[in-house]
């Protein structure tokens, strides 16, 4: 059995009574080295872009095909995209996430983006290879074994097809999304990916607004996911990119917004600072709407545990975590994992924390 939130919280409280100065926390040379390593990337400023409304499959529970964005009219002109991304660079964006629906359908547009801003990631189902000339991280979505993918995503032989396209590709990270239904299958899938030398990270199915289907998590399925993730992290320390704090943050009974208060414009009431000011989520017609802008629009905020959301929501909360060595190490592991998953050329370090730590205040 894995520790419940109550167990983790009690331990964290008893260990965090002293008031720590930041300089004292940095006296540990491992902490100092990791801090120096991650802070070099604080210049990253992201925005996300729906590259097309088209996708070559249809998955149950896809947030892209919820809400209005799916009805926008695709702009297929690479020059228009180039102009947009150049303007994005001018307003301070240094990192792009190319997503919904399926970016591999429009490689020429992805190429235009890469030529203007060379740091970024593409979220893909992995069924169509994205040209090697596009040097972004490639996040390949995995929703279970082949039988589950056939049922939920309507795609046959998915893992082998993804593998044919991305085995040995240093850009590739396989993102296993835990739903309520596929928790035990993660063992066989991660073993398969490890055997083929692939890197895996984890995601939690976060329900689109209005979805009440069988993929939605319960408190029990979150605890089951928690123990499975932890076992896989221990079994495959080199090929699974995750940390104990990632596990706690993403399988907590409270959503990421409840735990950390989401800073994307869609939920950020201040709207004047940080992500609330800089982040935009563009639709495939190159328009954007502040009130809908977050990395996973049309996801239910009260159920949001999405890995893409956590990257910005948790990493943005450095000061809260710098309260004592334990929470700061946990936060450093989270940021180190985030950078390894999202930034080409960043190497994941060994996790500093070898046990779960409660989010500050919980």
Residue 267 binds ligand SF4 (CB under 6 A):
yes
Question: The tokens of 203 are what?
Answer: 């995601």
What is the rounded CA–CA span in Å between residue 358 and residue 249? 8
Q: Does 159 bind ligand SF4 (CB under 6 A)?
A: no
Q: Please pick, from the candidates 2, 48, 100, 178, the single residue that binds ligand SF4 as defined by CB under 6 A.
A: 100
Exactly one of 30, 32, 58, 76 binds ligand SF4 (CB under 6 A); which one?
A: 58
Q: Would you give the end-to-end CA distance of the chain in angstroms?
A: 21
Site string for ligand SF4, 268-297 (x = CB under 6 A): --------------------------xxx-
Q: Give the separation between CA 233 and CA 343, rounded to whole angstroms.
A: 20
Count of residues near ligand SF4 by CB under 6 A: 24
CA 16 to each of CA 11, 20, 322, 344: distance values in angstroms, whole numbers, following the listed order: 9, 9, 11, 35
Q: Residue 208: left if φ>0, alpha if ψ -120 to 50, beta else—which one?
A: beta
82 vs 328: CA distance, rounded Å = 39
Q: How far is the CB of 255 from ligand SF4 (least distance, A)?
A: 7
The length of the chain, given as a count of residues:
362
3 state SS of 225 = helix
* Tokens 């690479």 belong to residue: 78
Instruction: Select from 20-28, 72-80, 94-102, 226-234 the region that touches ligand SF4 (CB under 6 A).
Output: 94-102
Nearer CB in complex with ligand SF4: 152/198: 152
Interface map 118-147 toward ligand SF4 (x if CB under 6 A) = -------x----------------------
Whether 45 and 263 have beta carbons less than 8 Å apart is answered as no
Does residue 304 touch ligand SF4 according to CB under 6 A?
yes
Instruction: Return residues touching ligand SF4 (CB under 6 A).
Output: 55, 57-59, 62, 64, 100-102, 125, 153, 256-257, 262, 264, 266-267, 294-296, 299, 301, 304, 309
């Amino acid at each position: 059995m894995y520790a419940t939130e109550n167990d983790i919280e009690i331990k964290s409280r008893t260990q965090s009574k002293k008031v720590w100065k930041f300089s004292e926390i940095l006296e540990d040379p491992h902490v100092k080295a990791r801090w120096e390593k991650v802070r070099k990337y604080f210049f990253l400023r992201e925005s996300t872009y729906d590259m097309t409304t088209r996708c070559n499959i249809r998955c149950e529970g896809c947030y892209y095909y919820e809400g209005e964005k799916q009805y926008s009219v695709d702009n297929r002109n690479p020059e228009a995209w180039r102009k947009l991304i150049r303007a994005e660079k001018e307003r301070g964006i240094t990192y792009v996430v190319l997503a919904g629906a399926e970016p591999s359908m429009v490689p020429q547009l992805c190429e235009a983006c890469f030529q203007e801003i060379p740091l970024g990631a593409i979220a893909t189902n992995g069924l169509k290879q994205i040209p090697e000339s596009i040097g972004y991280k490639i996040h390949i979505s995995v929703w279970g074994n082949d039988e589950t993918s056939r049922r939920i995503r309507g795609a046959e032989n998915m893992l082998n097809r993804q593998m044919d396209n991305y085995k040995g590709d240093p850009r590739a990270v396989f993102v296993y999304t835990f739903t309520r239904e596929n928790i035990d299958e993660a063992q066989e899938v991660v073993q398969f990916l490890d055997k083929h030398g692939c890197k895996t990270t984890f995601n939690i199915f976060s329900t689109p607004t209005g979805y009440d289907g069988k993929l939605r998590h319960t408190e029990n399925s979150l605890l089951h996911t928690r123990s499975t993730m932890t076992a896989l992290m221990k079994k495959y320390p080199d090929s699974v990119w995750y940390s104990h704090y990632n596990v706690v943050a993403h399988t907590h009974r409270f959503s990421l917004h409840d735990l950390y208060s989401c800073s994307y414009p869609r939920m950020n009431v201040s709207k004047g600072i940080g992500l609330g000011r800089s982040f935009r989520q563009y639709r495939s017609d190159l328009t954007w709407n502040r009130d809908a802008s977050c990395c996973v629009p049309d996801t239910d905020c009260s159920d949001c545990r999405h890995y893409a959301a956590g990257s910005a929501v948790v990493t943005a909360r450095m000061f809260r975590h710098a309260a004592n060595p334990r929470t700061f190490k946990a936060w450093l592991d989270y940021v180190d994992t985030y950078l390894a998953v999202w930034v080409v050329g960043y190497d994941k370090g060994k996790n500093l924390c070898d046990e779960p730590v409660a989010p500050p205040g919980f």
